[in-house]
Amino acid sequence: MAGDRSALVGLLLFVLVAAAPTVTFWLALRVVPRVVEAVVERRAARRPPSPGPSLERVVADVRRLHREIRGGRASSRVRQVALLAAYDDALLTACAVVGVADPPLAGAAERDRAFARLLTEAALEQAGVSLDPPSGGARAA
């Protein structure tokens, strides 16, 4: 019986030595990347989200673009289209910062953009953002 045990131990050692490289490569190719990815995701979740533009900056941009559009100073059609596109982007950014859910301008077709722009301005006004503040020096955000 003593001879059988040594043969069994020898066989187990042989299987261990033969299987170790295969198991090592499997771990390196399958398990390690998943563990690394999980660690990276946890670290990313711990970091505070990157700060976007401040509410004051976004409102100032919206007001500035609103004044330019209302003033009618666009010298060419290209400038007018670019100004409206920038104003639309600023309105959508303001909606995101303030928390207006589903602004009408987000999914508007080109022909409905002017009306959707008015609805988005109204939604921002309801959220407390004054797009056309009184000129008395008091600033409302």
CB 116 within 8 A of CB 86: no
Residue 89 tokens read as: 């982007």
**Burial bucket for residue 129 (CB in 10 Å: 0-12, 13-18, 19+):** buried
The pLDDT value given to residue 141: 47
User: Which tokens is 53 given?
Assistant: 């533009």
For the chain, the helix, strand and coil percentages under 3-state DSSP, each to the nearest 5: 75, 0, 25
Residue of 129, 64, 66 whose CA lies nearest to 103: 129
The domain spans of the chain are 1-47, 55-126
User: What pLDDT is recorded for position 104?
Assistant: 85
Provide the terminal-to-terminal Cα distance of the chain, rounded to the nearest Å: 90
Residue 70 main-chain phi, psi, to 5 deg: -65, -35
Walking along the chain (141 residues) 10 residues at a time, the average pLDDT comes out as 74 90 90 91 78 87 90 82 92 90 85 90 90 64 47
Structure token digits, residue 19: 């299987």
